[in-house]
Amino acid sequence: MQDRHLDARTMCSRALSVVCIVISLFGAGVASAASTARSELPAAERQKIEALIANVEKLEGAVFVRNGKDYPPASAAKFLRGKWRKHASQVLSAEDFIEIVATKSSTTGRVYLVRFADGREIPTASFLRAHLATLR
């Protein structure tokens, strides 16, 4: 009788170990899938996004207006890179980058603007879409 209890306990322990292993493997698979989703940005799209940011960074005689405050091009480029990193899992194309990262503030909803030296302002999204068209 004691052997039967030992065998039942051993079998339960082994079954529990198998369940734990399956759960661990499933969790690792989910984490791996999430990581893969973040890295699915095609190289060509990554290059386009980098070119858009570089265009912002080197623009002379303009400021970028975010939430009512003016920023020089280098600061704007740094901000866009950081926001891109934050939303990387959602950005799968240059168009996504413009829409999700470079159109408006995610906290205030205010549209980002480019203000040129002559005082003319355009939405940053329009500025970037025009540049994206030249990249194609």
Q: What is the pLDDT of residues 59-84, one digit of tens each?
A: 999 999 999 999 999 999 999 999 99
- pTM value is 0.70
Q: What are the φ/ψ torsions at residue 63 (nearest 5 degrees)?
A: -130, 160
What is the pLDDT, as a whole number, of residue 136?
Answer: 80
97 and 128 housed in the same domain: yes
Average pLDDT of the residues in 103-128? 96
64 and 29 housed in the same domain: no
69 and 97 housed in the same domain: yes
Task: Report angle CA 50, 54, 58 to the nearest 5 degrees.
Answer: 180
60 and 113 housed in the same domain: yes
19 and 71 housed in the same domain: no
> Would the pLDDT of 38 be above 70?
no
21 and 65 housed in the same domain: no
Which stretches does DSSP call E strand in 1-136? 62-66, 69-71, 113-116, 121-123
CB atoms inside a 10 Å sphere around CB 58: 10
* Per-residue DSSP letter, 59: -
29 and 53 housed in the same domain: no
Residue 1 belongs to what domain range? 1-39
Q: Confidence band (pLDDT; 50, 70, 90) for 26?
A: low
